[in-house]
Amino acid sequence: MSNRGFFAGLGSLLTGLGVTFRAMFRKNVTIQYPHVPVPVSPIYRGPVRLISEQVAGDHKCIGCLACQRICPTHAIPVLTTKKNEENKNVPVDFVIDDALCCFCGLCVEVCPTVALEHSRIGDLAAQAQSLLRRDIMKDGVITSDNFPTNVGKSGGTA
């Protein structure tokens, strides 16, 4: 081996070791998912949920079907309504398919009574697509722990 090749290889080795030593003393950026929850951005749009009123615990949905009509992916396939004793529409079933939802926020924006909002659930991994189809009338306040894909898992965050 010539001296020129030896010094070129040694220089390359020292450059690589320099990169390695600098990286050894930096803060780790890897998150040990799923053992450690992933932090969610404040502007993250998670699964859609009904906003319940603080006093009665009831929701403000009037069953106008605007969210169902505006959804570009048809992720709100079943929103059935009936008339109550005051002859006003009330929703009976309100199903959202999170597997189809693109989290665009159109349903939240078009709602005339501001009855919908995005939750901040970041873990939507599911073993079956059927787990992502949920009735939001029955969900109540959804969190990462009681979201259908995370029931039974530990370490969820709200």
**101-154 confidence digits (pLDDT tens):** 999 999 999 999 998 998 888 777 778 888 888 888 776 666 666 666 665 555
Strand-pairing partners, residue 50, are 116
**Residue 155, pLDDT score:** 46
Looking at residues 36-48, what average pLDDT do you find?
Answer: 86
Residue ranges and CATH numbers for the domains of the chain are 42-139 (3.30.70.3270)
Q: Which residue has the higher pLDDT, 62 or 14?
A: 14
Q: Which residue has the higher pLDDT, 125 or 46?
A: 46
**Residue 157, pLDDT score:** 43
The residue ranges of DSSP E strands in the chain, in sequence order, are 48-50, 78-83, 89-97, 116-118, 133-135
Which of the four pLDDT bands, split at 50, 70 and 90, describes residue 156?
very low
Residue 113: count other Cβ atoms within 10 Å of its Cβ: 12
Contact 91, 137 (CB under 8 A): yes
Q: Which residue has the higher pLDDT, 109 or 51?
A: 109
Give the 3-state secondary structure of residue 75: coil
Contact 75, 133 (CB under 8 A): no
**Residue 106, pLDDT score:** 95
Distance CA 69, CA 65 (A): 6
Q: What are phi and psi of 74, to 5 degrees?
A: 55, 40
Does 70 score more than 90 pLDDT? yes
